[in-house]
């Protein structure tokens, strides 16, 4: 039997997100502070002697994933003649869809990184970037799982700095449409992030924001209520929506405070998905 490999595909969080304007192609110009948490999808991968790839999903967030990033990645690699074999890839989806946690993008990034590290494919950095951009704008971030700053010029600076925060994540059943959220952005930020590892200090992170919160809150008022509730929990450092939502993240320096906040939030928002995690 051919050996299968196991991959952990970690959730991405935006500690901040500023919308600075639009490019000529009408896409939004953003800057963001990015980290990862130990919540992850579990991916099993092995080569098979079949005429087609086999892509399967299971787990709590596995519904309606036919048009997925994994199939998209394999199709691109085949068209470029970079992979010769067929693969069976099974993914347990623990990261909610439309949550702002980059689950699908990180799946594609994790598998592409696996192919590169195993020397299954050999390509230049420029070609890697092109492949990532064909799948999703944030796929490239997940190839090297480090705290990062995505600057306004699209350059990414990565750091080995550890944040060491416990996080409470909460999400209502509704998922946010990224396209619709960005469409509602009316004001642009002028502030530029200072490219430095000091930005990952808690006191610095507390001063940051997510420009997509107000558009999201106007569409989904319950997200505002959730943020206000978590912001009033004991010893919380700051609370912020990640990406375009709909997950609201509360940050704590100690585990006990995070656990207490999670218990309170579960009592008040019984039908919401909620979990305790930690930055990695």
12 assigned to active site:
yes
Query: What 3 state SS string does the chain have?
Result: CCCCEEEEEEEEEEEEEEEEEECCCCCEEEEEEEEEEEEEEEEEEEEECCCCCEEEEECCCCCCCCCCHHHHHHHHHHHCCCCCCEEEEEEECCCCCCCCCCHHHHHHHHHHHHHHHCCCCCCCHHHHHHHHHHHCCCCHHHHCCCEEEECCCCCEEEECCCCCCEEEEEECCCCCCHHHHHHCCCCCCCCCCCCCHHHHCHHHHCCCCECCHHHHHHHCHHHHHHHHHHHCCCCCCEEEECCCCCCEEEEECCHHHHHHHHHHHHHHCCCCEEEEEEEC
Catalytic residue, chosen from 93, 138, 211, 227, is 138
Active site residues: 12, 138
């Amino acid at each position: 039997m051919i050996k299968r490999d196991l991959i952990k595909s970690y959730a991405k969080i935006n500690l901040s997100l500023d919308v600075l304007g639009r490019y000529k192609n009408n896409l939004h110009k953003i800057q963001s502070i990015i980290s990862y948490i130990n919540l992850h999808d579990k991916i099993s991968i092995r080569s098979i002697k079949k005429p087609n790839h086999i892509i399967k999903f299971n787990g709590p967030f596995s519904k309606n994933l036919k048009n997925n990033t994994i199939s998209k990645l394999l199709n691109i690699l085949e068209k470029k003649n970079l992979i010769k074999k067929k693969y069976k890839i099974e993914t347990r989806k623990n990261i909610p869809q439309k949550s702002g946690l980059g689950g699908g993008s990180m799946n594609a990034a994790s598998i592409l990184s696996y192919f590169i590290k195993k020397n299954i494919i050999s390509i230049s950095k420029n070609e890697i970037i092109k492949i990532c951009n064909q799948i999703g704008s944030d796929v490239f971030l997940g190839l090297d799982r480090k705290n990062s700053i995505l600057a306004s010029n699209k350059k990414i600076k990565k750091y080995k700095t550890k944040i060491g925060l416990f996080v409470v994540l909460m999400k209502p059943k509704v998922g946010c449409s990224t396209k619709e959220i960005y469409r509602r952005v009316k004001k642009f930020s002028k502030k530029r992030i200072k490219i430095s590892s000091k930005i990952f200090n808690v006191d610095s992170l507390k001063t940051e924001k997510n420009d997509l919160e107000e558009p999201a809150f106007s569409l989904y008022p319950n997200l505002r209520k959730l943020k206000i509730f978590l912001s009033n929990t004991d010893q919380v450092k700051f609370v912020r929506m990640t990406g375009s939502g709909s997950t609201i993240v509360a940050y704590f320096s100690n585990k006990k405070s995070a656990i207490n906040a999670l218990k309170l939030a579960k009592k008040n928002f019984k039908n919401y998905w909620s979990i305790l995690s930690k930055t990695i």
